[in-house]
Amino acid sequence: MIPVNDLEGLKVLITGASSGIGAAAATAFSRVGAEVTLHYNARRDAAESLAAALREEGGTVHLVSGDVTRADDAEDIVARSVAMMGGLDCLVNNAGAIGRTPSAGFDEAVYDQVFDLNTRSVLRLVGHAAPALKASDRASVINLGSIAGHNGGAPGSGIYAAAKAAVHSLTRALAREMAPDGIRVNAIAPGVIETPFHDDTPDAVLEAALNAIPLGRLGVPEDCAWSFVFLASPTMSGYITGQIIDINGGQLMP
């Protein structure tokens, strides 16, 4: 049996990696020998703590800060990451937030904020990362979608759901466009995962979600982490592109 060791030394940039799914993905990548750049915006202490923990385990970890909703910051995040790692093999577009507001009578500022963070940032970062990814022989992009992008989300999350549906569509479009350069593009669409992301989610919404999950529990970040590793591995997923991988305990079965 041949072990899968094609992630050793893989150069990975993960946005929004200070907590939740991003932090879990960073931990998984580091533990299989990848070199990881953790991006953060506001949660500096959490990012530094995670970096220190992974370095203690023997990982090669870098930190980069910036606001992915700002064009100049997005370019700088990628440029500094590529400089620190000496290249880029995998871009994980994980940064995002929900911004709850009724879909009818929505707030223009909330709409712009939600789409800038969840959708436009993906295009910005992919655009800046493309030259480095083209130079890699094991290049991939992994976007963070959502179950909300399939089902419209819970009440108050319609704009977020629309933004994630756009991420799903962009993932497929980018997969077609970047395939000639050997770059695979996929997305992970989590269900309800217990992270700080859901700190403001009403208990009734979480209870309703729990009741609809056949596996009988809400997800945790580690339930998603190793799927990022799978999608970044040329051995395990080298013929997979343009796919949305659903991780939701059976809550949605497309």
CA distance 68 to 91: 13
Q: Contact 185/133 with Cβ under 8 angstroms?
A: no
Which residues are within 8 A (CB) of 179 and not within 5 positions of it... i.e. 6 or more apart?
241
C-beta pairs of 149-156 under 8 Å, 24+ apart in sequence: 149/189, 149/244, 150/189, 150/246, 150/252, 150/254, 151/252, 154/201, 154/205, 154/208, 154/209, 155/102, 155/205, 156/100, 156/101, 156/102
Partners of 64 in beta bridges: 39
Q: Contact 164/146 with Cβ under 8 angstroms?
A: yes
| Catalytic residue selected from 40, 111, 160, 239 | 160
**Catalytic residue status for 239:** no
Residues with a catalytic annotation lie at 160
